[in-house]
């Protein structure tokens, strides 16, 4: 899985500005035991999270140090954007626990100035934060936070959902989302089973023809819709070696949710828990750049690894 390449250096800086906010009362240092150990196993994410935890970000005074989590949301050559979030249980019954992440703050770390800024309330007038300088001294973050491509913020709004376009996907490295019946058999073989759409009574269909002979083809857990000789992927499972290439990057049953964060940082940070034991998660991706399409793509993860991908549309 490709990793993200970005080079940034931490530059020590003096605190600027004053505030009477309770969050401003934190000191510039923390106990040495709280610093991430200097070794070869720590990641960029670990060190950045510890650095943020040592800061006086406003969200900590509102939600508490233990509840607020931090994740790298966007990277570019000039700054690192960090999302602060809490995890809430939105289930209606205790037996069906549903966890969802809610953003409670946004920070920026700027390469040239070394400033850590809180942009939550006013991006044009950010609050300059303090953080523990020893964390920066203990780690070469310019090396830790290197990978193979830069993440750019997709648009001006932080809440803008990540996009996965059909044209960038190749199923088993060969097929687009729409193909022919003969293409299906060449790549996937004969279907495991076939059902008429009229017997399944779906609330919405891909081809929207409502022809009596439209069918669903089932293969290795995946479901494909047909109309005449045309076939489209509706739900695709990463079973029996099935995979997709997304912009040349392979996604299969060994792909982790951490791998996906490199591609879709916002979607992963806003992932939702689908069961009470925290083993099944889903991320949601927009289908178009303009936000016109009502539906979205859902990608499911079981035990931290990719399980399936589903094109969802409202009825």
**pLDDT above 80 for 275:** no
Q: What is the per-residue pLDDT for 254?
A: 95
E strands, 15-163, where?
69-75, 79-89, 99-110, 116-118, 127-129
Specify which of 67-76, 137-146, 295-304 reaches the highest per-range mean pLDDT: 295-304
DSSP label at residue 130: P
- Encode pLDDT of 64-77 as tens digits: 777 888 887 777 66
pLDDT class of 201 with cuts at 50, 70, 90: confident
Q: Which residues pair with 84 in a beta bridge?
A: 70, 105
Q: Residue 54 is encoded by which pair of tokens? A: 């040592």
Query: Cβ neighbours of residue 140 under 8 Å, at least 6 residues apart?
Result: none
pLDDT class of 189 with cuts at 50, 70, 90: very high
Between the alpha carbon of residue 249 and those of residues 68, 78, 273, the distances in Å are 32, 26, 25
pLDDT class of 294 with cuts at 50, 70, 90: confident
Between the alpha carbon of residue 282 and those of residues 167, 197, 210, 258, 275, the distances in Å are 22, 26, 30, 13, 10
DSSP label at residue 112: T
E strands, the chain, where?
69-75, 79-89, 99-110, 116-118, 127-129, 169-171, 178-180, 193-196, 215-219, 222-227, 230-237, 244-246, 249-251, 272-273, 280-286, 296-302, 305-312
Give dist(CA 306, CA 298) in Å, integer: 11
- Encode pLDDT of 222-237 as tens digits: 999 999 999 999 999 9
DSSP 3-state of 144: helix
Give dist(CA 271, CA 274) in Å, integer: 10
Neighbour-count burial of 93, counting CB atoms closer than 10 A to its CB (0-12 exposed, 13-18 middle, 19+ buried): exposed
**Torsions phi, psi of 46, nearest 5?**
-60, -45
**pLDDT above 70 for 89:** no
Q: Are 269 and 85 in contact (CB under 8 A)?
A: yes
Q: What is the per-residue pLDDT for 16?
A: 34
Mode of pairing for the β-strands spanning 116-118 and 69-75 = unpaired
Specify which of 106-120, 171-185, 194-208, 282-296 reaches the highest per-range mean pLDDT: 171-185
What number is the average pLDDT over the span 110-118?
Answer: 80
What number is the average pLDDT over the span 89-118?
Answer: 72
pLDDT class of 38 with cuts at 50, 70, 90: low
């Amino acid at each position: 899985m490709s990793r993200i390449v970005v080079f940034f250096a931490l530059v020590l800086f003096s605190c600027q500005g004053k505030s009477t906010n309770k969050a401003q009362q934190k000191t510039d240092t923390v106990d040495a035991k709280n610093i991430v150990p200097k070794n070869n196993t720590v990641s960029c994410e670990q060190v950045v999270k510890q650095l943020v935890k040592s800061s006086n970000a406003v969200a900590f005074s509102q939600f508490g140090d233990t509840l607020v989590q931090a994740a790298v949301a966007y990277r570019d050559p000039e700054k690192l954007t960090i999302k602060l979030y809490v995890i809430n249980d939105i289930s209606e019954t205790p037996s069906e626990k549903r966890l969802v992440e809610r953003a409670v703050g946004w920070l920026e770390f700027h390469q040239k100035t070394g400033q850590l800024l809180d942009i939550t309330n006013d991006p044009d007038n950010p609050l300059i934060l303090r953080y523990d300088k020893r964390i920066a001294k203990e780690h070469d973050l310019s090396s830790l936070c290197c990978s193979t491509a830069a993440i750019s913020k997709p648009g001006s709004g932080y809440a803008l959902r990540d996009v996965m376009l059909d044209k960038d996907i190749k199923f088993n490295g060969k097929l687009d989302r729409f193909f022919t019946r003969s293409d299906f058999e060449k790549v996937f073989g004969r279907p495991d089973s076939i059902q008429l759409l009229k017997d399944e009574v779906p609330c919405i269909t891909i081809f929207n023809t409502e022809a009596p002979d439209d069918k669903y083809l089932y293969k290795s857990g995946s479901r494909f819709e047909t109309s005449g000789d045309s076939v489209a992927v509706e739900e695709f499972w990463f079973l029996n070696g099935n995979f997709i290439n997304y912009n040349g990057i392979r996604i299969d049953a060994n792909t982790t949710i951490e791998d996906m964060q490199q591609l879709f940082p916002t979607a992963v940070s806003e992932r939702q828990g689908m069961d009470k034991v925290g083993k099944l998660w889903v991320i949601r991706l927009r289908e178009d750049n303009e936000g016109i399409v009502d539906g979205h793509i859902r990608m499911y993860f079981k035990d931290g690894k990719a399980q399936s991908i589903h094109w969802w549309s409202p009825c």
